[in-house]
Each structure stands twice: as C-alpha cells, then as structure tokens.
Structure 1
Amino acid sequence: MPTVPPTLLERVQYLLCDADGNLFPSEEPAFEASAEVTNSFLASVGIDRRYTADELRAAATGMNFRTTALTLAAEAGVTDVDIEPWVAEERRAVTAHLGATLRPHEPTRAALTALAARLELAVVSSSALSRLAACFTATGLDELLPPARRYSAEDSLPTPTSKPDPAVYRHACADLGIAPEQGLAVEDAVAGVRSAVGAGCPVVGNLLFVLPEERAARREALLAAGALTVVESWQELADLVLPVLAGRPAAGEALSGAAR
C-alpha cells in the first residue's frame, strides 16, 4: 500500500490535479489528432521525419504542443519558425477530437467527490484552457473542477511555457494563496512530477490511465523524478489521504479564513 508521511498530509489544503492522462484517458486520443498536425508542421519547415501517434506520445507526454514542436524542429536544426498558427490548429484539432471521444469515468468522479469533502481541488496543466474545458465537460467533471480553479501553462502565465518548467505550479499556489507544501500534486508523467517538485509541491504519481505494459517503467520513472509514492487509481489516493484528514473540517470550512 502506498504511503505518505501523515505530517505532510496534515499540512495539505489543496489537491493540485494534472489533467491529461490523469483525470481522464486523453493522452492516446490527443496524440492521434496531434500527430497529424505535428507532421504537417514538420513538412512545412522542410523536415522529413514523421511521427506515429505512439511515437509522439513517447516523445512528448507531459509537454504541450508548442514546446514539443519547437523541440522537434530544433533537433532537426530548424529554429526560425512561426509556431503560433500551428499552435492554434493543433488546439482546434485536439479539442474537437477529445470532446467527441472522452466519456465520464465514474470511479474517478466518485473518488474526487470524496476527496473534495476534505480538500479543495484545482487543475494544474500544460494544456490550453479551451482543451481542458472540452475534456471536463465530456467527462462530467465541470462541477468538481470549475474554470476558476484551472491553471494552464499555455494560457495562465504571462509567457506560455510547459511542464517540466515549475512556473505553472508556482503560479497556481500563489493565486490560491497557499505555500507550495500545502498543495499535493497528482501527476501521471515525469515532466509533471518535475514541474511540481521544482515548485516545492509534494507529489503523488498516478498510473490509472497509463497503459498496462508501461506501468512498471512509469512507476520507477515517477519515483526517480521525485514522487513520494505512486497509486493506481484516484480511489487508492482517497484511501491514502482521507483517513489522515478525517478529523478535519470540511474543505470550505477549513479554508474560510484563508487567502483564496
């Protein structure tokens, strides 16, 4: 059974949730749509390399399209590119595909509802806010994770960035009025763990939507990146966290006097 020191959990006020591949199984369908745009972008700048959806997912999980495309171009020796039209096109294609393919995952929604009774929930993601909105609506999570508590490395910062840069976690904690150690991050990707750790947030890895054949390697990678422990579902996280917080006031009451 995964463990986290109770003294650490007692300080936590917010659960800071990565979105893609963590709250919903969006990684595979997102890369199906993204690979088409990525390959068109590479062709437009004279790069012959083409990626399947699986190859792109292996290279880019945890990063947004802007960072991925610029990295792939730079690796091929191309640095002077206008990426913004491609960012917009990739966002449109992926958002439409995810909105049409994702469905609610009832065990996740039930566990998050239980966690929300003791912790405030927020989203900290590399993805654009429009993409997040489509995903939360499709998966029935809008009420638990409303727009006011969604933070995007693409849209919420003065300069867009991507995990593993810790900027989006630092911004989220500052906006929520908490110290980093008061936000427990939940991440499925190494880039996300490094982002949270870099900001000073404790992190739990989550393998729920990681492909079964990739779980053993991902578990080791998440721990090596700084995750305190790794769970295989949101219910397992609830079973880990809720007993420690059982005697605490409900989430809204606990934070009623805090900066929000």
Structure 2
Amino acid sequence: MSPLSATPLPPAVLRSVQVLLCDADGNLFPSEEPAFAASAQVTGRFLTGLGVTEIPTAEELRLATTGMTFRRTALALAAQHGIDQVPELEAWVEEEKRVVTDHLRRTLTPDATVIEPLTALAGRLRMAAVSSSALVRLHACLAATGLTDLIPAELVFSAEDSLPTPTSKPDPAIYLHACEQLGIEPAAGLAVEDSLPGARSAVAAGCPTVGNVVFVPAAERAERIAGLYDVGVLTVVSSWDELAGLLLPALDQQAPTAEVVR
C-alpha cells in the first residue's frame, strides 16, 4: 500500500475514539522474527522432551502461530502429535519467556518512524498496549524501542499476565479487560493490529480496528491485508505515519480538549 492510501475512518469512530489500543509484537516494534528465532530453540527442546522428532523451524512457527502465546502454541503442537498431557508446562512457559525476552532486549532498537507519529498521536489520545505477550517481555521491548514514555507501565495489558486466567488472542478478553481498566466503552478504543488473531480479538470485543502491516514481510502483505479485511478491520495502513495522517486532521477539527491524562 502506498502512503495515505487507506480508506478514511468513519466519522462516528473518529468522534468516539479516546484511546489508541496498540498491539505490540509486529506492530509497535519488529519483534516477530527475532522472537521466533529465540522461541524455536525452546520449542525444539520442549518437543524433544515429549519424544517428538518433527521439530518446526522458526519460520514455520512464525507463519503458523503469530499472535498466539507460547502456552497455546505448546499445547497445540503437543495435540498435533496426540499428546494430551504436557508435564511441566508452566516451567517451559517461563523458560521461553526468559529466553525470548533476553534476546529481544539485545536485538530491538528505537525507530523514529514509530516514535514520531506516536508522539504526535499521544498529544490527542491516550496510548495503551494490548498484547498476548507476557508483561516482562512487553516492558523490555518498550524500553529497548524507546516507547516507555509514550505507553506507561500501568497501561500495558497482557493476556498472559493481566487476566485472572491466562489466555491468548483471538479471545477478546484482553481487550475487554483493557477497556474496563481504562474506563471506556470498547467503541472508544481504536485498536491497531497486525495479525489476524489480534484483529479477531479486537473486533470481537467491539473495538473499531485498524490493520497495520508496517512490519509484515513484503511477500506476505497482500494476503495479510485481505485477511485483515475479512476479519472486520475498518482499514489497513502501511505505516504509523499513515495512521497519524488518517487520525490527526479529524481530531484537530474537533473542539479543543483538555490535555491528555496519562
């Protein structure tokens, strides 16, 4: 998609939006490929311990499980091989969390093409992160990419850690929880998602949703864009600048509001 080629958002959405609900991995930062490179090592050890010899590559995991937690991935992989009982699952979840977080902390760096448009949007909207990933991983990634000043720790929501029972997108629970904690109706939270499970989660929660393919590999973009529209996003952008270009003119036309409370 070329810059500013996205479909304009409906006026009713622009009038209602109060918070930008940002998915994290593959959306705020390009963490998918390095995360799966690290996760694949743990996944291989996990499956080998179950007696499985068919070990997926990092790329196979990325294509099959983007948007899913390691817990859900581990159970699904075990089930594929007829294994119903997974011993020490929580220990494996913690190991994968540690390995991937350490790798992302060393790998990710600040990106002006994300920080600058988000800074402009943060002057008009509250910012929150809504993810399937664990909080420790999210905070490490936000720090490594220079986004902690824009998305404060108390507005980072994890389907792994923020809910009474851990879940994963496409379950809408994490979006419903985030909206409840923010004190808004889902219609007032504009979700930005790169993955199909994430978009399904936001749409099912009742949040107007924008697809963002900024970090989606070029060869996968056309299929991803079509899939995002199929699950109900309102439009798809190719960069955070493009999203700012859609939102800021409309927000600036609205009556002046008090300074955004963080």
TM-score, normalised by the number of residues in structure 2? 0.95
Letter in 2 for 1:39: G
Structure 1 250/112 Cα, relative in aligned 2: closer, same or farther at 3 Å? farther
Once residues 77 and 4 of structure 1 are traced to their aligned partners in structure 2, the CA distance between those partners, rounded to angstroms, is: 46
Letter in 1 for 2:230: A
Match of 1:59 in 2: 64
Contact 2:123 2:259 in 1 (8 A): no
1:50 and 2:70 aligned: no
CA positional deviation for 1:142? 0.6
CA positional deviation for 1:249? 6.0
Match of 1:189 in 2: 195
1:26 and 2:31 aligned: yes
1:141 and 2:143 aligned: no
SS of equivalent to 2:83: coil
SS of equivalent to 1:10: helix
Once residues 136 and 231 of structure 2 are traced to their aligned partners in structure 1, the CA distance between those partners, rounded to angstroms, is: 29
How does 1:84-99 map onto structure 2 within 5 Å? 84-99=90-105
> Among 33, 41, 47, which residue is 1:36 paired with?
41
How does 1:134-213 map onto structure 2 within 5 Å? 134-213=140-219
Contact 1:118 1:248 in 2 (8 A): no
1:102 and 2:108 aligned: yes
Unaligned runs of 5+ in 2: none
Once residues 255 and 134 of structure 2 are traced to their aligned partners in structure 1, the CA distance between those partners, rounded to angstroms, is: 34
Letter in 1 for 2:164: P
Once residues 125 and 177 of structure 2 are traced to their aligned partners in structure 1, the CA distance between those partners, rounded to angstroms, is: 19
TM-score, normalised by the number of residues in structure 1? 0.96
Once residues 187 and 25 of structure 1 are traced to their aligned partners in structure 2, the CA distance between those partners, rounded to angstroms, is: 13
SS of equivalent to 2:35: helix
CA RMSD of aligned residues (A): 1.3
Structure 1 107/52 Cα, relative in aligned 2: closer, same or farther at 3 Å? same
Contact 1:248 1:254 in 2 (8 A): no
Once residues 79 and 241 of structure 1 are traced to their aligned partners in structure 2, the CA distance between those partners, rounded to angstroms, is: 47
C-alpha deviations, 1:171-212, integer Å up to 9, x for none?
000110000000000000000000001101010000000011
Unaligned runs of 5+ in 1: none
Letter in 2 for 1:63: M
1:118 and 2:99 aligned: no
1:220 and 2:199 aligned: no
Once residues 35 and 84 of structure 1 are traced to their aligned partners in structure 2, the CA distance between those partners, rounded to angstroms, is: 17
C-alpha deviations, 1:2-49, integer Å up to 9, x for none?
121122111000000000000000000000000010111111112222
Match of 1:70 in 2: 75
> Among 232, 236, 241, which residue is 1:235 paired with?
241
